[in-house]
């Protein structure tokens, strides 16, 4: 049931986001490629680097360390664009970062995973035999079916039927918000035993990873005097990882349930952190249109 509900709910959330977007939003992103490039560097380079630094500082068990690196190697989560929209950030930038990082992860994910496994084995930690074929098909299908097609459907509805889209937008947005809360609580309920057993031991690492990646992502854009909306988008993109992919790799590919623990705990922690950022930004910022 969860395997069916989760992708359908995410697809509806992405549809609601597409309903609020215009082609001009994406043209604005391409006019400021520096923000896009900085966001990609944050997602693909700084997130794994921060995870590695945390591992070196806290010296967790090897199985936790490899699980954390699997999580850090995963691309941005599908909900980052929606949460960026809620935080009144640059949703189009977030969506482009998610799409591009997911495609680049076809190369970066297996390379980083293999390096992490070799590094831990060389340091006397966990020895994991990594398969030659990693879940490239799952990654592509999740990007296409859960994110790209629903967003295009929402944008198409707004373009061809603007009055109908305007009339439906508020109700659809509220339904999408409710579905997102169901996903958060459903994740906790489905993995409540794993979360409760490991929240104290792994929670510190995952919380620090979430706070540091969001802070670094936000700071990268502000450092180059970028606008707040772009900074919010990059912060969300760096802080929200595709934890579902990390869980799948641990359970379905490597068949080591213990490796899934960081991803399971992070799935809860990252949404709490993201919602806190949404609340903070909405309290400090007057409503803006997405096209601004």
Provide the residue ranges of all domains of the chain, joining segments of one domain with +: 2-279
Confidence of residue 277 (pLDDT cuts 50, 70, 90): very high
Q: Model pTM?
A: 0.78
Q: What angle do CA 185, 186, 191 make, to 5 degrees?
A: 105
Confidence of residue 61 (pLDDT cuts 50, 70, 90): confident
Using alpha carbons, select from 199, 200, 231 the residue that is nearest to residue 214. Answer: 231
Torsion of CA 103, 30, 237, 119, to 10 degrees: 50
Per-residue pLDDT for 288 more than 50?
no
Per-residue pLDDT for 291 more than 50?
no
The CATH number of 2-279 is 1.20.1530.20
Average pLDDT over residues 236-244: 87
Token readout for 33 is 């490629």
Is 15 in contact with 150 (CB distance < 8 Å)?
yes
Give residues with Cβ within 8 angstroms of 152, minimum separation 6: 18
């Amino acid at each position: 049931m969860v395997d069916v509900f989760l992708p359908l709910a995410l697809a509806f959330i992405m549809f609601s986001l597409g309903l609020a977007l215009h082609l001009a939003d994406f043209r604005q992103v391409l006019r400021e490629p520096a923000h896009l490039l900085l966001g990609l560097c944050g997602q693909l380079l700084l997130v794994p680097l921060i995870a590695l630094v945390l591992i070196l500082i806290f010296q967790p068990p090897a199985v936790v360390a490899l699980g954390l690196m699997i999580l850090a190697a995963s691309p941005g989560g599908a909900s980052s664009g929606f949460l960026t929209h809620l935080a009144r950030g640059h949703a189009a930038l977030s969506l482009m970062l998610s799409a591009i990082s997911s495609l680049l992860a076809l190369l970066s994910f297996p390379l980083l995973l293999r390096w992490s496994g070799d590094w831990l084995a060389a340091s006397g930690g966990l020895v994991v035999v990594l398969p030659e074929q990693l879940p490239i098909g799952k990654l592509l299908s999740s990007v296409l079916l859960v994110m790209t097609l629903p967003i295009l459907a929402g944008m198409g509805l707004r373009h061809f039927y603007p009055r109908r889209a305007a009339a439906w937008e508020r109700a659809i947005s509220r339904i999408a918000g409710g579905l997102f809360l169901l996903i958060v609580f459903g994740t906790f309920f489905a993995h409540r035993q794993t979360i409760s057993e490991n929240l104290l031991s792994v929670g510190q690492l995952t919380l620090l990873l979430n706070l540091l990646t969001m802070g670094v992502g936000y700071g990268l854009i502000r450092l180059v005097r970028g606008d707040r909306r772009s900074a919010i988008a990059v912060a969300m993109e760096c802080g929200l990882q595709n934890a579902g992919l990390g869980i799948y790799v641990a359970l379905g590919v490597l068949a080591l349930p213990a490796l899934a623990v960081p991803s399971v705990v992070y799935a809860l922690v990252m949404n709490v952190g993201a919602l806190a950022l949404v609340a903070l930004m909405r309290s400090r910022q007057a409503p803006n249109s997405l096209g601004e």
